[in-house]
């Protein structure tokens, strides 16, 4: 019989609207999967973890992050897109070696797990050579996180690869798929991360979308990013029949309502990085417009060069941004009629089940229902920022921070317990990150911000 672990007497948020939530219930993990959820399961042959001071919930899901940039956390806190492209993609990325892609991905993935993220889409535009791809994938494997490796472009030259680029996406994905992704039933799955119509010619778009569909992997693409998103690329792609349910559209800030509708009508999913969008001049985060049009977005961290690594920040940013817009509009429009404030339940769904849906993993993760894989986190509800517990979902979305993350399970494997990461040599990960960071800075001549 598979290993059985009982999370006992926790406050359980399943996120599943049918199963509901429980002020006090047990969650039984059997091997990789959730075997049962409910009060007083009466299991006697399992390892018991006492969860009576815990919120037990699905692991958080980040649907877009450039994980290799983990080496350069906070380096561009004051920066906007106009700094990010030349500095991060133009100066730092071209000198990355495969081992730097490894150490960036490793420290990034560990930070994600530590903060309660169990699934992350790594939008990996550091494919400078095939060895970079191998190294980035190896780091994901070594970290133990559930990940979508989204095979992006090389960043060997800013002018070649960005801004009306005529370079087609490399086809090394055809080597990677059989080598690492022969099964869909594994912790790491594959997607294509083409640059999209903000950054390339339409000829490249046609080529890259055909490549993804030939290989048979989902697509994740940045659209509606600042002024680069103004020209109507989605409109054009819709007319050409390129949009589909296999695609996640990131940011979407400067898309028209019609373009957002095309995405919804063709079954696409959204990844909104509210904090980055507000800070870096992407345009107004489109959450309110997406909701009005009937869409349900997922959330993402995007760049740790500018924003923190965790989903608590993302949930708060999304919640507050949408409410700011609605409240302002209603106040000055004289009426709240027809206005809908996003709720903490909505936002928690965006960070869990909608993330799973965007990552094409909702059959495995995103909610706590029997049969799904056991991607579970436990948040310390007796910590002084949450106690006493009055509204558990509110406590997660507006009250909690990374300091509440007591335990993390990924596919039933304990990755963090009692506030400590497991299965990892943290000294090695830190050492690799410092060596790589120092190498990239020295080699590129990058000047870190004055202090």
Which residues form the interface with Zn ion (CB under 5 A)? Answer: 302
Dihedral sign, Cα of residue 232, residue 236, residue 237, residue 243: positive
Compute the least distance from the CB of residue 416 to Zn ion, in Å: 26
Return the number of the residue (64 or 416) whose C-beta is nearest Zn ion: 64
State which residue, 208 or 302, has the beta carbon closest to Zn ion: 302
**Residue 435 CB, nearest approach to Zn ion (Å):** 26
Tell me which residue has its CB nearest to Zn ion. 302
Asked if 293 and 274 count as a contact pair (C-beta separation under 8 A), the reply is no
Residue 276 DSSP one-character state: H
Nearer to Zn ion, 84 or 180 (CB): 84
- Could you tell me the smallest distance in angstroms from the CB atom of residue 271 to Zn ion? 9
Least spacing, CB of residue 81 vs Zn ion, in Å: 10
Separation of alpha carbons 212 and 61, rounded Å: 23
Q: Which is nearer to Zn ion, 139 or 303 (CB)?
A: 303
The least distance separating Zn ion from the CB of residue 276, rounded to whole angstroms, comes to 7
> Minimum Å distance from CB 118 to Zn ion?
20
Nearer to Zn ion, 28 or 192 (CB): 192
Q: Are 317 and 287 in contact (CB under 8 A)?
A: no
200 C-beta neighbours (distance < 10 Å), count: 25
Shortest reach from residue 277's CB to Zn ion, in Å: 10
Residue 385: CB partners within 8 Å, gap ≥ 6? Answer: 399, 400, 401, 403, 404
**Of residues 6 and 191, the one with the C-beta less far from Zn ion:** 191
CB of 170 to Zn ion, least distance (A): 19
Task: Dig out the tokens for 18 from the structure.
Answer: 């049918």
Q: Which is nearer to Zn ion, 196 or 399 (CB)?
A: 196
Residue 160 CB partners (closer than 8 Å, separation 6+): 167
Alpha-carbon distance 219 to 268, whole Å?
Answer: 10
Burial zone of 370 (CB within 10 Å; 0-12 exposed, 13-18 middle, 19+ buried): middle
Question: Is residue 354 within 8 Å of residue 296, measured between CB atoms?
Answer: yes
* Cβ-based nearer residue to Zn ion, 85 or 230: 85
**Inter-CA distances, 391 with 197, 384, 394, Å:** 43, 15, 5
Please, where are the H alpha helices in 162-201?
A: 173-180
Closest C-alpha among 16, 38, 18 to residue 28:
38
């Amino acid at each position: 019989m598979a290993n059985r672990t009982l999370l006992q007497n926790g406050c359980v948020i399943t996120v599943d609207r049918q199963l509901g939530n429980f002020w006090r219930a047990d969650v039984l993990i059997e091997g990789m999967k959730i075997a049962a959820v409910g009060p007083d399961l009466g299991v006697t042959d399992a390892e018991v973890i006492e969860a009576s001071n815990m919120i037990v919930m699905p692991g958080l899901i980040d649907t877009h992050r450039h994980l290799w940039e983990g080496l350069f956390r906070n380096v561009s806190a004051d920066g906007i897109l106009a700094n990010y492209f030349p500095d991060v993609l133009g100066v730092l990325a071209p000198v990355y070696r495969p081992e730097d892609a490894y150490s960036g991905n490793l420290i990034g993935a560990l930070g994600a797990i530590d903060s309660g993220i169990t699934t992350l889409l790594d939008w990996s535009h550091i494919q400078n050579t095939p060895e970079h791809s191998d190294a980035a994938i190896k780091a994901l494997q070594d970290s133990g996180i559930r990940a979508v490796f989204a095979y992006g472009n090389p960043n060997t030259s800013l002018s070649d690869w960005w801004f009306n680029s005529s370079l087609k996406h490399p086809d090394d994905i055809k080597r990677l798929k059989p080598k690492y992704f022969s099964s869909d039933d594994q912790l790491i799955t594959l997607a294509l991360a083409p640059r999209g119509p903000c950054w390339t010619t339409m000829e490249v778009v046609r080529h890259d979308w055909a490549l993804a569909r030939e290989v048979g992997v989902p697509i994740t693409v940045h659209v509606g990013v600042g002024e680069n998103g103004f020209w109507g690329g989605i409109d054009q792609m819709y007319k050409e029949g390129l949009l589909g349910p296999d695609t996640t559209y990131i940011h979407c800030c400067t898309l028209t309502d019609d373009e957002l509708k095309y995405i919804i009508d063709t079954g696409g999913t959204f990844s909104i990085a509210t904090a980055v969008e507000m800070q870096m001049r992407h345009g107004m985060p489109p959450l309110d417009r997406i909701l009005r049009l009937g869409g349900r977005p997922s959330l993402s961290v995007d760049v740790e060069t500018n924003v923190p690594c965790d989903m608590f920040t993302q949930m708060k940013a999304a919640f507050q941004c949408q409410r700011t817009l609605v409240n302002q509009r209603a106040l000055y429009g004289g009426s709240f009629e027809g206005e809908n404030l996003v709720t903490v339940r909505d936002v928690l769904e965006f960070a869990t089940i909608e993330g799973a849906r965007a990552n094409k993993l909702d059959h495995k993760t995103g909610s706590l229902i029997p049969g799904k894989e056991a991607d579970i986190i436990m948040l310390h509800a007796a910590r002084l920022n949450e106690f006493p517990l009055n509204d558990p979902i509110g406590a997660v979305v507006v009250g909690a921070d990374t300091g509440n993350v007591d335990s993390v399970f990924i596919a039933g494997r304990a990755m963090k317990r009692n506030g400590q990461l497991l299965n990892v040599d943290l000294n090695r990960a830190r050492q690799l990150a410092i060596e790589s960071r120092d190498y990239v800075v020295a080699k590129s001549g990058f000047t870190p911000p004055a202090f």
